[in-house]
């Protein structure tokens, strides 16, 4: 794994680097791996090896990576059906993630949940939620537990711009603010609520940040495609929560390169918009950032090559994996492992 020692030319900005090369390389690695893994998911879907639906995060890697590195082990994350990136960013394996999308036994939930419900408690991923807004109050509950037990973990909740108009968003924000809960609400504003521009359906310009004041919270809008920016704001919000300062609401501006889901060719985008945003591709930005900080090309190439190798290995492992045994059909409805509703 690359480290600070690989930098050849000391750079001025290194001296003022609050992030540090180790973490920078981590940020880069995560974004590259998320990108490569999501692109592989795209291909596997076309090959009908991934069935059902799949919501890709291509173009939104920086938010996941920024928070992924900022969060500690023990912090809890809750995300939406567009949760592949957040799951990988917390350290879940590629074969677990891809395997779940392919509905194989090797998947994180052995195929029981599918793409929209990625869960890895071991990595702090406490579920991906498909009903818009449902997990915001749930994140509040997790934060309440931390507050009650005096535990120091923070609950982080990721959602899209469309979520800001549903009832549960408002209930959760108010609830978290009133109880001063250690929860961070992260809105990935990718400008589109499914197929409709968010601006057409929201009363305010910034769907999350412009609501913060309603709950007594600070208005925060950041460039969601710069992993360093995301990382810094994440650290600040996490620390505030951890120290009893209460919740934050962070709006990260970003863009998704593909459609809402695999079924969506995204023809509703105005011409030129995608191209503009591709110039702000987070992976491209961060590759450049690493060079600015003197990271050698070989190091960068090694990370990217390793990522591709991992994706290949994961793909093969998933293709080789059988599907879950049929007993799983009725397993784990209840705590006793079964499904009996009668005697």
Partner 1 sequence: MAELTYRDAVARGIAQEMERDERVVFLGEDIGKAGGVFKTTVGLYEKFGPRRVRDTPISEQAILGAAMGAAMTGLRPIAEIMFADFLAVCFDYVANEMSKLRYMSNGQLACPLVIRTGNGGGVRFGAQHSQAVENWTMMIPGVKVVAPSSPVDVIGLMAAAVRDPDPVIFHEHKALYAIKGEVPDGEILDKLGTAKILRPGRDCTIVALALMVPRALAAAEILRQEHGVDAEVIDVRSLVPLDTQTILASVAKTGRLFTVEENPRLCGWGAEIVSIVADEAFWDLDGPIVRITTPHIPLPAADHLEDLALPSTSRIVDKVHRVLNG
Partner 2 sequence: MTSTIIMPQLGETVAEGKVLAWFKSIGDEIREGDNLFEVGTDKVTIEVQAVVAGRLSEIRVGVGATAKVGEVVAVIGGDMTAKAPVRTEARAARASQWRSPFEEVSTPTEKFGSSKGPNGVRITPLARRLISEHGIDVARLSADVARRGATKVDEAAVRAALAERPSEPATPSVVIAPPPKPADSPPPEGAVISLNAVRLRTGERLAENWRTIPHVFQAIEVDFTRVDRVRKSRKADFQATHGFSLTFLPFIARATCLAISAYPQINARFSGATLILSRDIHLGIAVDLNHNGLVAPVVREAGELTAIGLAKAIRRQTEKAKAGKLSADDLLGGTYTISNNGAFGTTLTTPIINAPQVGILSTDAIGLKPAVVSTPEGDFLAPRMIGIVGQSFDHRAFDGAYSAAFLSRLKLILETRNWDEEFPSDR
CB of 160 to partner 1, least distance (A): 17
**Pick from partner 2, partner 1, none: which does 30 bind, CB < 5 to 8 A by kind?**
none
Encoded tokens for 72: 């500690």
**Pick from partner 2, partner 1, none: which does 168 bind, CB < 5 to 8 A by kind?**
partner 1
Encoded tokens for 293: 């900080």
Residue 223: CB atoms within 10 Å: 17
**Pick from partner 1, partner 2, none: which does 127 bind, CB < 5 to 8 A by kind?**
partner 1
As a whole number of angstroms, the distance between CA 14 and CA 22 comes to 12
As a whole number of angstroms, the distance between CA 308 and CA 315 comes to 10
Of the pair 191, 328, the CB lying nearest partner 1 is at 328
Of the pair 5, 342, the CB lying nearest partner 2 is at 342
Encoded tokens for 306: 């390793």
- Residues 6 or more apart whose Cβ sits within 8 Å of residue 131: none
Q: Closest by alpha carbon to 242, among 182, 293, 191?
A: 182
CB of 313 to partner 2, least distance (A): 34
**Pick from partner 2, partner 1, none: which does 81 bind, CB < 5 to 8 A by kind?**
none
State the DSSP code for 224: T
Q: Which residues of 22-39 are buried (b: 16+ CB within 10 A; e: fewer)?
A: ebbbbbbbbbbbbbbbbe
**Pick from partner 1, partner 2, none: which does 338 bind, CB < 5 to 8 A by kind?**
partner 2
Of the pair 46, 333, the CB lying nearest partner 2 is at 333
As a whole number of angstroms, the distance between CA 287 and CA 226 comes to 11
CB of 168 to partner 2, least distance (A): 32
Of the pair 46, 329, the CB lying nearest partner 2 is at 329
**Pick from partner 1, partner 2, none: which does 149 bind, CB < 5 to 8 A by kind?**
partner 1
Q: What is the enclosing helix (H) or strand (E) of 242? A: helix 227-242
Give the CA distances from residue 117 to residues 20, 80, 82, 157, 215, in Å, rounded to whole numbers and listed in that order. 34, 8, 9, 14, 29
CB of 331 to partner 1, least distance (A): 7
Of the pair 81, 231, the CB lying nearest partner 1 is at 81
Q: Is 143 helix (H, G, I), strand (E, B) or coil?
A: helix
Of the pair 148, 341, the CB lying nearest partner 2 is at 341
CB of 333 to partner 2, least distance (A): 9
Of the pair 63, 324, the CB lying nearest partner 2 is at 324
CB of 329 to partner 1, least distance (A): 10
For 253-284, the DSSP string reads E---SS-SSTT---TTSPTTHHHHHHTT-HHH
Q: Closest by alpha carbon to 79, among 96, 67, 94?
A: 67
Of the pair 19, 328, the CB lying nearest partner 2 is at 328
> Which residues in this chain contact partner 2 in the complex, by CB under 8 A?
327, 329-330, 334, 336-343
CB 161 within 8 A of CB 189: yes
CB of 328 to partner 2, least distance (A): 10
Of the pair 190, 321, the CB lying nearest partner 1 is at 321
**Pick from partner 1, partner 2, none: which does 18 bind, CB < 5 to 8 A by kind?**
none
**Pick from partner 1, partner 2, none: which does 37 bind, CB < 5 to 8 A by kind?**
none
**Pick from partner 2, partner 1, none: which does 124 bind, CB < 5 to 8 A by kind?**
none
> Which residues in this chain contact partner 1 in the complex, by CB under 8 A?
76, 108-110, 112-114, 117, 119-121, 126-127, 129, 131, 134-146, 148-149, 155, 167-168, 171-172, 174-175, 178-179, 328, 331-335, 337, 339-343
As a whole number of angstroms, the distance between CA 139 and CA 155 comes to 6
């Amino acid at each position: 794994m690359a480290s600070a020692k690989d930098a050849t030319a000391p750079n001025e900005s290194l001296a003022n680097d609050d992030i540090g090369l180790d973490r920078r390389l981590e940020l880069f690695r995560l974004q590259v791996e998320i990108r490569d893994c999501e692109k592989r998911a795209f291909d596997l879907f076309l090959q009908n090896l991934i069935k059902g639906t799949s919501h890709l995060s291509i173009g939104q890697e920086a938010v996941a990576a920024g928070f992924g590195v900022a969060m500690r082990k023990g912090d809890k994350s809750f995300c939406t059906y567009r949760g592949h990136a957040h799951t990988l960013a917390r350290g879940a394996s590629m074969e677990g993630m891809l395997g779940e999308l392919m509905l194989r036994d090797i998947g994180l939930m052995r195929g029981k949940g599918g793409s929209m419900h990625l869960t890895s408690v071991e990595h702090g991923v406490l579920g991906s939620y498909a009903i818009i807004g449902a997990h915001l109050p749930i994140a509040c509950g997790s934060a309440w537990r931390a507050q009650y037990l005096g535990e120091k973990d923070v609950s982080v909740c990721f959602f899209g711009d469309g979520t800001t108009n549903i009832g549960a968003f408002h209930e959760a924000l108010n609830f978290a603010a009133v109880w001063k809960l250690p929860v961070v609400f992260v809105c990935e504003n990718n400008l589109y609520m499914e197929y409709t521009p968010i601006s057409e359906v929201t009363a305010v310009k910034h769907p999350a940040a412009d609501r913060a004041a309603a709950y007594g919270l600070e208005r925060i809008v950041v460039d969601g495609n710069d992993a360093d920016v995301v990382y810094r704001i994440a650290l600040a919000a996490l620390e505030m929560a951890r120290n009893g300062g209460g919740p934050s609401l962070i709006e990260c501006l970003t863009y998704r390169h593909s459609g809402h889901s695999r079924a969506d060719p995204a023809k509703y985008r105005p011409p030129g918009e995608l191209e503009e945003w591709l110039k702000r591709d987070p992976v491209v930005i961060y590759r450049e950032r690493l060079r600015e900080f003197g990271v050698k090309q070989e190091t960068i190439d090694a990370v990217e090559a390793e990522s591709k190798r991992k994706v290949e290995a994961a793909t093969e492992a998933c293709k080789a994996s059988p599907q879950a045994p049929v007993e799983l059909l009725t397993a784990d409805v209840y705590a006793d492992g079964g499904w009996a509703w009668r005697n």
